[in-house]
Amino acid sequence: MRTNDLLLPFLLFICSYATAQDFPAVPYGPEARQFADIYIAPSTTPTPVYIDAHSNGGTTALPSSMTSDLTSRGISIVAWESLTSVNNFQEIQTGWDDAELMLAWVKENATTYNFDTTCLFIGGSSRGSILSWKIGHSGDPDIKGLYMYNALPDGVWLDSTIWYAPNEVTVNSPPIFFVYRFEPGTNDIHDPENGLIIMDKYDELGIGDRDTIIHSISQTGNNDRYQFLGDFIQSVGCAPITTSTDTPDVQAYNPLAFPNPFYDRIEISGLQGDESFILSNAFGAVLWQGTTVNELQMAHWNPGMYLLTVVTKDQRKVLKLIKN
């Protein structure tokens, strides 16, 4: 029998959370629970913002590896608090209300913190994916992507008459990137099958090119839930992203893979000439890397999803490939 995520807190290993916030515990509402930690990316121009919600029993503390990676890419971070744990739908509703208040506060205070609020990314782990879900699919054009770890645990699927997550998905839903610790069908409340239900909804609406799922990261030797986050944000390319106040803005860069789906080979258009490539499977394991991806023969590879990371001197872009 699976344990309901809404009833058990997530164990947090504090020792890995070392980076000091630039602005800790900033209130976004009048209640004591309504605060956020803010990490600022140095930049002479407004920066994109990643907005993070933790899992049940967690805190707003974030790992230094993640905060350093994002801020070095020119992405600021807001890690927001609400009810620390949610155990029923009344508490979830409180979290949804807090999420709306928090998002409004971020926009109202954009100038103070040098935020580009036309380029927002919503993220959440387990509980955080639930509390972030409604604002993520609200149709707000400023929200450019969703990054969810162990998303939509089993407890929220128990009574679809109260709430059914796929009903929030619309043709205007932004790109979504799912990461799961275990494989589909696992005896765990965080079953990737829950994310696959959402991907089916994206497909049904004709926006299947906006969804990605990576599962079984526990089998790869890298359990970092944020390991794909920076590349995902940069792959959307909704605003120039710089790595410091001294570097010029990186212009929109949109290489495309074709054919996609593919059978034996792919070609990449829109290249600038200095790229290298990293090709991984859906588990995040690197299968190949080099500079001439168009010569790679893949007819013998198993059907399924693959990720091609295109790397230049200034940026990285992740392309989702489907092998027939």
Q: How confident is the model at residue 9 (pLDDT cuts 50, 70, 90)?
A: very low
Judged by phi (left if over 0) then psi (alpha if -120 to 50, else beta), residue 59 lies in beta
Cβ neighbours for 295, distance < 8 A, ≥ 6 positions apart: 265
Q: What is the DSSP string of 162-213?
A: T--GGGG--TTPPPEEEE-SS-TT-SSSS-HHHHHHHHHHHHHTT-GGGEEE
Q: What is the pTM of this model?
A: 0.73
Distance CA 48, CA 60 (A): 19
pLDDT at 236: 82
Query: 230 by DSSP, 3-state: which?
Result: helix
Is the pLDDT confidence value at 4 over 70?
A: no
pLDDT at 92: 98
Beta carbons within 10 angstroms of residue 16's beta carbon: 13
As annotated, the residues of the chain forming the CATH 2.60.40 domain(s) are 256-323
Cβ neighbours for 213, distance < 8 A, ≥ 6 positions apart: 177, 178, 179, 180, 192, 195, 196, 199, 282, 305
Where is pLDDT greater, at 116 or 271?
116
Distance CA 136, CA 115 (A): 18
Distance CA 240, CA 257 (A): 22
Is the pLDDT confidence value at 206 over 70?
A: yes
pLDDT tens digits, one per residue of 80-128: 999 999 999 999 999 999 999 999 999 999 999 999 999 999 999 999 9
Architecture of domain 256-323: Sandwich (2.60)
pLDDT above 70: percentage of residues in the chain: 88
Length in residues, the chain: 324
Q: What CATH topology corresponds to 14-236?
A: Rossmann fold (3.40.50)
Q: How confident is the model at residue 142 (pLDDT cuts 50, 70, 90)?
A: very high
Distances (CA, A) of 227 to 71, 107, 231, 284, 304: 14, 27, 8, 10, 21
Is the pLDDT confidence value at 244 over 50?
A: no
Q: How confident is the model at residue 202 (pLDDT cuts 50, 70, 90)?
A: very high
Strands (E), the chain: 23-27, 35-39, 47-53, 76-80, 115-125, 143-149, 176-179, 211-214, 256-258, 267-269, 276-281, 286-290, 304-311, 316-323
Is the pLDDT confidence value at 20 over 60?
A: no
Q: What is the 3-state secondary structure (H, E, C) of 116-143?
A: EEEEEEEEEECHHHHHHHHHHCCCCCCE
pLDDT tens digits, one per residue of 275-311: 999 998 876 778 899 998 888 888 888 887 788 888 8
Is the pLDDT confidence value at 314 over 80?
A: no
pLDDT at 71: 93
**What is the DSSP-derived secondary structure letter of residue 14?**
G
As annotated, the residues of the chain forming the CATH 3.40.50.1820 domain(s) are 14-236
Query: 227 by DSSP, 3-state: which?
Result: coil
Cis amide leading into 259 (omega within 30): yes
Nearest 5°: the CA angle 117, 252, 41 is 45
Distance CA 132, CA 124 (A): 6
Report the greatest alpha carbon distance in the chain.
Answer: 59
pLDDT tens digits, one per residue of 31-59: 999 999 999 998 889 999 999 999 999 99
pLDDT at 220: 82
Nearest 5°: the CA angle 185, 212, 276 is 125
Q: The tokens 């929030």 sit on which residue?
A: 168
Summarize the confidence of residues 2-20 as an average pLDDT.
Answer: 39
Distance CA 82, CA 172 (A): 27
